[in-house]
Amino acid sequence: MSLKGKRGLGAIFQDQVVNTRQYLEHVKDSTTGTQGRVVKIFTNHFRVISRPELITYKYNIDYMPEIEDGKVRTDLLCQHKQTIGECHIFDGNSLLLPHRLQKQKTELVSRWGTKIVKVTIEFCSELKPTSVDCLRYYNILFRKILKMMDLKQVGRNYYNENEAMEFLNHKLVIWPGYITSILEYETSITLCADVNHKLLRMQTAYDLIMHVDSKSQRKDIKDITKELVGSIVFTKYNNRTYRVDAINWEETPRSTFKKSGGEEITFVDYYKEQHGLVVTDLTQPLLVSKGKWKKSQQDTPHEPIMLVPELCYLTGLTDEMRKDYRVMRDLAMHTRLDPEKRQHELQRFMNIVQRHKTAQRELQLWDLKFDSDFLSFSGRIMKEVRILQGSRAPILYNRLRKLCVIQNTDVSFLLSFKVLCVLSSDRKDLYDGIKKYLCVNCPIPSQCVVARTLDKPQTLMTIATKIAQQMNCKMGGALWKVETGLRNAMFIGIDCFHDIVNRRKSIAGFVSSVNQELTQWFSQCVFQEAGQELVNGLRACLEAALKLWYKHNLFLPQSIIVYRDGVGDGQLQALIEHEVPQIRSSLKSVYGDEVRLTVVVVKKRINTRFFAEYHGRLQNPLPGTVIDVGVTKRQWYDFFIVSQSVKDGTVTPTHYNVIHDTVHFTPDGIQCLTYRLCHMYYNLSGVIRVPAPCHYAHKLAYLVGQSIHQEPHYSLASRLFYL
């Protein structure tokens, strides 16, 4: 297989070149709002204050015979420094040079061991300093610089071994590190830097296999498989991570495999010979990894990789650890940085970059310079949203209290038309079973409570209130209302759940509003092939949603506003090419004409953070802060909102990108509407990170994907049964 397919323009950069604003006439001049109180905002971006102003030259590099290993490719090319010069950036496939080579096509000969490899450098194109491709090379260069600064690459990011934090009590190590990206924004090119932590466990897959083993005294293959499959392991000898896809119980480290040279060798001998590692248990099974899972490679078969459990360290937190408050408390203390600490860390990082001699030399070759302070601009705090309290939920406290008296049995209680299950433990299979039964076979909204949560008399009141609240919204009762300021509009939230562990079908949750007050929602879901992000069954969902709206209101909505979550990097183009047209054509078939439609892409996983200065200290911006300058894009109609407030740590803003808008929202209009929708989530009496329909869709997709794996019964669709 050629490398070319694998290493195209990175996913992030694919989205950069999508220009959606050109079609949005009404925001041609400005995507900036004016309402609200102006506040000075800082962000974790450092402006690029100097960069190459001249044209650079891109060359394609080919190897004869073909070489797969990126390091070898680099090594072979770098044997010709006299030709290409000190100043170059190589991405494994193509080369960026600040000058033109003498010949259009240069053929060179490199040595790899005793082999001789022909390296062809062929001119590809001239790059303007502003081109996205050029930025991609700067990112590669910066990664090289992080490496020079002695940071260690684990997965995609770079970490500092010298500042490793060890949690001896929990057998955990945390390496602090950085996520960086250089991208172009409205007014400048910036380096976005954020602190990141890598969690490593001092536990091997073998420990885990044996652990479960001794619990039940017999090999329970099912349990081990459940715990191990899907987890990411880290092999100490080659610094790589693998995903465990299966456990092969038939084979042992004494099994053989074929080396690249063709000879057969046992795993034991191989690790001894290659890495000086001794495998002690010769009867352990082997782990199977099918390699990286990429959408484009779904059909191409590749040789699975076999791993010896003893040599595989486990990564990430287990569910057990997550439940252990001591682990979580200790981790939070070190990884949840408040704005002040985060700024301090990032400033320190920038200082190290600025002072590092070799790093600076490399940057100077390209005339790249970064500002040493956080980028700052002004944001606005939107007006507080008025919440209209509805009639209180039927009071269930007393009933719940009575329940607690007899809670030592895990029987189901029938409460008028609802099911309340008090579970003796929070075992997932039990929960899954109950939910599956009550969502598919016997559709009744149900509530599960772990018995232990009702144990403590001092918190019983709060918990009972919360449970009552949750039960109430599952039954469709409105808890409060928010005025959206938009008449006759239907709101839709879409999110996806991918079951990466079992590679089952992906589930898209589709939640639409039913009434004007946005107190009732209609929930549907679509199953699609694994890894597929785009919703294909949109048409049916949309038609059903419109039908129900019509039934309730006796007319069709005049405008439709879609909040689309769960869009991965690099999928923006596909969204515009397939999903939006599909929505439009479905609407057309119902209305017989174009109807006003707005589609907003919602992104929660971003590295941009915002800080506001209060009393001389950097703090999280107040809820309702909107940012639509500085780190927004020229080619998009986008903005950030900080809608939620966090107790500790730094708040993560949500990014909104309006990709289609025939409602013609003004920036103030869409920002305000979005913020209001963040108040409409009934499971929490506060403001959430995303508009409520998005979060409902997320909850639905999650419950279906995690627990019931089937389409819930249609009779539940008009209830928020999945909260």
Partner 1 sequence: FIKFQQSTVARKNVIEFRPPLYKQRYFFVKDIVNQYKPKKVADLGCGNATLLCMLKFHSCVQELVGVDLLMDRLLDWNSDRLSPSVGDHLGPRDLDLSIVLYRGSAVEKDSRLLGFDLITCIELIEHLDSEDLAKFPEVVFGYFSPGMVVISTPNSDFNPLFPASTFRNSDHKFEWNQKQFQHWASNVAKLYNYTVEFTGVGAPPPWAKHVGYCTQIGIFKKKQPEPGSWIVAKPTGSSDSQPEEHTYQVVFTASFPSLQQKHFLLFVLCTEVLKEVEAIRQKYVWILKRKESNEPESEEDIDRSLVRRPGLFLTDAQVAQIEKSPKPYSVGKRFYVPLKRLIGYPKVNRLVGDVSTLRTLLAEGIPTRLNRAHTSVLIDLDPYDYPRDYY
Please give the helix or strand (H or E) that residue 105 lies within, else none. Answer: strand 105-112
Q: How far is the CB of 490 from partner 1 (least distance, A)?
A: 34
- For 132, phi then psi, to 5°, come to -65, -35
Active-site annotation holder among 495, 579, 628, 638: 495
Residue 611, phi-psi category: left (phi > 0), alpha (psi -120 to 50), beta (remainder):
beta
Q: Which positions touch partner 1 (CB under 8 A)?
A: 71, 74-75, 78-79, 81, 109, 111, 113-116, 118, 147, 150, 152-154, 159, 161, 164, 166, 168-169, 171, 173, 175, 198, 200, 202-203, 206-207, 209-211, 213-215, 217, 234-239, 261-263, 273-277, 280-281, 313, 320, 323-326, 449-450, 452-453, 456, 463
DSSP letters of 210-260? HHHHHHHSS--HHHHHHHHTT-EEEETTTTEEEE--EEESS--TTSEEE-T
The smaller minimum CB distance to partner 1, of residues 153 and 685, is found at 153
CA atoms within 13 A on the CB side of 76: 30
The smaller minimum CB distance to partner 1, of residues 252 and 608, is found at 252
Q: How far is the CB of 606 from partner 1 (least distance, A)?
A: 26
Judge whether 565 counts as a catalytic residue. yes
The rounded distance, in Å, linking the Cα atoms of 643 and 678 is 7
Residues in a beta bridge with 243: 232
Instruction: Pull the structure tokens for residue 558.
Output: 């005049």
Q: How far is the CB of 310 from partner 1 (least distance, A)?
A: 9
Task: Check: CB of residue 383 under 8 Å from CB of residue 36.
Answer: yes
| Pairing state between β 375-381 and 625-627 | antiparallel
| C-alpha separations of 489 from 388, 516, 558 in Å | 19, 7, 6
Q: Tokens 């910036």 sit at which residue?
A: 190
DSSP designation for 637: E
Q: Tokens 């323009």 sit at which residue?
A: 9
The smaller minimum CB distance to partner 1, of residues 167 and 527, is found at 167
The smaller minimum CB distance to partner 1, of residues 122 and 213, is found at 213
Active-site annotation holder among 15, 133, 533, 579: 533
Q: How far is the CB of 566 from partner 1 (least distance, A)?
A: 25
- For 15, phi then psi, to 5°, come to -70, -30
The rounded distance, in Å, linking the Cα atoms of 635 and 186 is 8
Q: How far is the CB of 206 from partner 1 (least distance, A)?
A: 7
The smaller minimum CB distance to partner 1, of residues 2 and 238, is found at 238
The rounded distance, in Å, linking the Cα atoms of 108 and 193 is 38
Q: How far is the CB of 688 from partner 1 (least distance, A)?
A: 17
- Sequence-distant (≥ 6) Cβ neighbours of residue 242 within 8 angstroms: 232, 233, 235, 287, 289, 291, 305, 307, 312
The smaller minimum CB distance to partner 1, of residues 160 and 524, is found at 160
The smaller minimum CB distance to partner 1, of residues 111 and 588, is found at 111
Judge whether 495 counts as a catalytic residue. yes
The smaller minimum CB distance to partner 1, of residues 122 and 371, is found at 122
Judge whether 356 counts as a catalytic residue. no
DSSP letters of 458-472? HHHHHHHHHHHHHHH
| Pairing state between β 172-184 and 157-159 | antiparallel
Q: How far is the CB of 452 from partner 1 (least distance, A)?
A: 6
Q: How far is the CB of 236 from partner 1 (least distance, A)?
A: 3
Q: How far is the CB of 333 from partner 1 (least distance, A)?
A: 15
Active-site annotation holder among 194, 310, 565, 638: 565
The smaller minimum CB distance to partner 1, of residues 89 and 700, is found at 89
Task: Check: CB of residue 720 under 8 Å from CB of residue 476.
Answer: yes
The rounded distance, in Å, linking the Cα atoms of 115 and 217 is 54
Judge whether 698 counts as a catalytic residue. yes
Q: Which residues are catalytic?
A: 495, 533, 565, 698
